Amino acid sequence: MSDFATACPSASKGFCLVLSAPSGTGKTTVGELLTAGDSTIVRSVSMTTRTKRPNEQDGVDYHFVSPDEFKEKIRQGAFLEWAEVYDGVLYGTPRETVERVIRSGSVALLVIDVQGGRAVKAIFPEAVLVFLVPPSLDTLSRRLRQRGLETDEQIQKRLSKARAEMKYLPAYDYGVGNDEGEQQSTVDAIRGIIAAERRRISRWEPQ
């Protein structure tokens, strides 16, 4: 066997993949499609103080907790990152779960906002940050209204935040468009990013 063949890795180290996007861009659905049928991509389930929606399951979509429970987790240092997002609602990424996935050699998928993405990158410099780019703010506004989950005032707040979030695009490693009806193309593009990142020599496990 050649030296080149023996140098090739049998496995690569695990890492974080952060998926961020303005609300309504479809990051939750894209995250679900990424993990479907691929046991090496494990989505970290965030913790939140917001009210559970009718179609959501506790422990699957989010860990739903009271503000007091969340604040106790902050005091315990249990979060990799956390933030107050809309109207006092808190979101956080449990640290222990993410570290366990990385140790196993898998990809820890974090579907979080740009503030959280930057915090994760500061802790894990080797994390890969992917930003889902909406076709336009008009399209984003229409998607949010079609969901029918919020008032006009709340939607305007989200659109204002989306404009601010787009300014953080240069801080991300990759940008992937997510047009309506093209989610599978978006997923395929991100799978390609993951495949390339797994081939980084710095991620090779020693033989």
Tens of pLDDT along 8-40?
555 688 999 999 988 777 888 899 999 998 999
Instruction: Please say whether the beta carbons of 128 and 120 come within 8 A.
Output: no
**pLDDT (tens digit per residue) in 116-137:** 999 999 999 999 999 998 877 7
Rounded Cα gap, residues 169 and 4, in angstroms: 38
Span 44-63, pLDDT tens digits: 999 999 999 888 999 988 99
Level-2 CATH architecture, domain 14-197: 3-Layer(aba) Sandwich (3.40)
Residues 106, 42: contact at Cβ < 8 Å? yes
Domain parsing of the chain, residue ranges:
14-197
Using a cut of 0.85, tell me whether the model's pTM lies above it.
Answer: no
Q: Which helix H or strand E contains 115, and what residues bound it? A: helix 114-123
Q: CA triplet 179, 185, 189: central angle to 5 degrees? A: 110
**Strand pairing category for 90-94 and 79-84:** antiparallel
**pLDDT tens, residue by residue, 146-169:** 776 677 887 788 788 888 888 888
Note whether 16 and 108 are within 8 A (CB): yes
